Amino acid sequence: MNERLTQEKAWKHSFDQWIFGLFGTFVVLMVFVGLFSGALTWGVLYIACTLIPLNILYVKRYRMRLGFQPELKGLYRRQLVRDGMNSIAFFLALNHQLLFTSNVAYVCVTVFIGGAILWTWDVEARTKRQDMNLDGGHGQWTKT
């Protein structure tokens, strides 16, 4: 169990570093590029390109957890899909005004984002509950 906690903490640390670098680069580089070029499409391209490594980190976490508890494969797969849907929802939330011009598309994007949030809460609660049951109820589950 200690090995699992160590790997979960290492993954969380690399995830935090990546997110910090993402927003730091955005503030330092992309804001100035957008101001000087006058085009916000660079920001859309930047966000799209940064979500690829983020999803690679999610796949690494899936494989790590699967190695420790293969009996939760279905649950971890749902969590991986949920993380991918959240990435898409994040991209659409930041760029919906540039990508969609109609009110119908705006409402659909809003519903999609709301559904992704609700699904996240449900999968997170299920993962915690089943993970702790398999752990014997020792309460050593760490939220990532």
Q: For residues 45 and 50, what is the distance between their CA atoms, to the nearest angstrom?
A: 9
- Would you state the pLDDT for residue 144? 47
- Asked if the structure places residue 142 within a domain, the reply is no
Residue 67 domain boundaries: 2-134
∠ at Cα 85 (58, 110), nearest 5°? 145
Please indicate, yes or no, if residue 71 is contained in any of the structural domains: yes
H and E: helices and strands count for the chain: 5, 0
Tens digit of each residue's pLDDT (9 = 90 or more) over 33-80: 767 776 666 667 777 777 888 788 888 888 888 888 888 888 888 888
Determine, yes or no, domain membership for 139.
no
Residue 140 counted as domain residue? no
In a domain, 96, yes or no: yes
Question: Would the pLDDT of 86 be above 60?
Answer: yes
Identify the pLDDT of residue 40.
Answer: 64
CB 116 within 8 A of CB 86: yes
Q: Which of 112, 137, 115, 122 is nearest to 75 (CA)?
A: 122
Question: Is the pLDDT confidence value at 3 over 60?
Answer: yes
Is residue 27 included in any domain, yes or no?
yes
> Is the CB of residue 85 less than 8 Å from the CB of residue 119?
yes
**20-23-28-34 Cα dihedral, nearest 10 degrees:** 170
Quote the pLDDT of residue 125.
Answer: 78
Domain-embedded: residue 83: yes
The answer to pTM > 0.75 is: no
- Number of independent structural domains in the chain: 1
pLDDT of 127 reads 73
| Residue 141 falls inside a structural domain | no
